[in-house]
Amino acid sequence: MTEGQSSHRDFAGKRVLITGGLGFIGSHLAGRLVDWGADVTVVDSLIPEYGGNLFNVSKFADRIRINISDVRDEHGLRYLIGGQDFLFNLAGQTGHMDSMKDPETDLEINGRAQLAILETCRKFNPEIKIVFASTRQIYGRPQYVPVDEKHLVRPVDVNGINKAAGEAYHILYNDVYGIRACALRLTNTYGPHMRICDARQTFLGIWIRQVIRGEPFEVWEGSQLRDFTYVDDAVEAFLACASDENANGRTFNLGGLEVISLHDLASLLIKVNGGGVAETRSFPPERKRIDIGDYYADFTAIRTAIGWEPRVPLEVGLARTLEFYRQNLDKYV
């Protein structure tokens, strides 16, 4: 095992709970962990807008426990959390526009429910180790790039505010109650199992759906700079943080190997796909109000603390993703 990489030895025989475990990243985590001999329970509400999909775990569903429930149900949390060694806490509402249209629901899921999870851990399983899925959205419009963890937290939407609160609760419970927890600020994670029926997880999903169908896709303005994390790299970060005590009480940015404009990303996607049409459009007004401009991450902190860094080049990740959806498009649209 090299620095920054987790090992099956860290998880074999361990009890692992994954909230949002039928979703994009959660299902990849479940697959890796079950292959390593962990006793895995996934929890997911399967609310249609939030990304859970039973097909994501179809290849190993008989080797895990699947609990269809909502993290807002405090009465079920004690049963689920008791006796677990690790909690990968990925359940959340990710839609930025959804959070603006229905801020109360976003608060319930990304704020109140996170506090209830932590209180349950404090009362009934204080030895658990938690890795929380946060987001780069909490930074808002960057004052400088690349963005490091010292950057001001100033979200531009309700989702960012509530995710920042959820993250802060986890670090607080680590610092005050000794419940080992850390948070990963994700940025444009992509790959197989991602949501492609709408833009609730990332705009790239819509692009991939359209280009596979042979239909034009829209690039809004297009000069904005972004970085992207392939799902295998993101999974490795979650696992490495769970198994490394140096991560406790920390928040870390994830990032990608390349920084690319949206125009160039569209061209790369068309190249990898072997065809496609991108149409440049102006931002819809409701989107323009919460657009963050350029963003790409400085992930020096996680590389220094536990040795993680992205390994999958963007072109390779796009090729893997396109191949997956060519074979399974009907399961995700």
The model's pLDDT over 66-84, given as tens digits with 9 standing for 90+, comes to: 999 888 777 788 899 999 9
Q: Taking the model in full, what pTM does it have? A: 0.94
Find out if CATH 3.40.190.10 is the number for domain 8-190+229-256+297-312.
no
Q: Which two tokens stand for residue 235?
A: 């999974």
The alpha-helical segments, DSSP class H, found in 91-157 are: 96-101, 103-107, 113-124
The model's pLDDT over 109-156, given as tens digits with 9 standing for 90+, comes to: 888 999 999 999 999 999 999 999 999 999 999 999 999 999 999 999
Neighbours of 53 (CB within 10 A): 18
pLDDT of residue 51: 79
Amino acid identity for residue 181 in this structure: A
SS3 323: helix
pLDDT of residue 235: 98
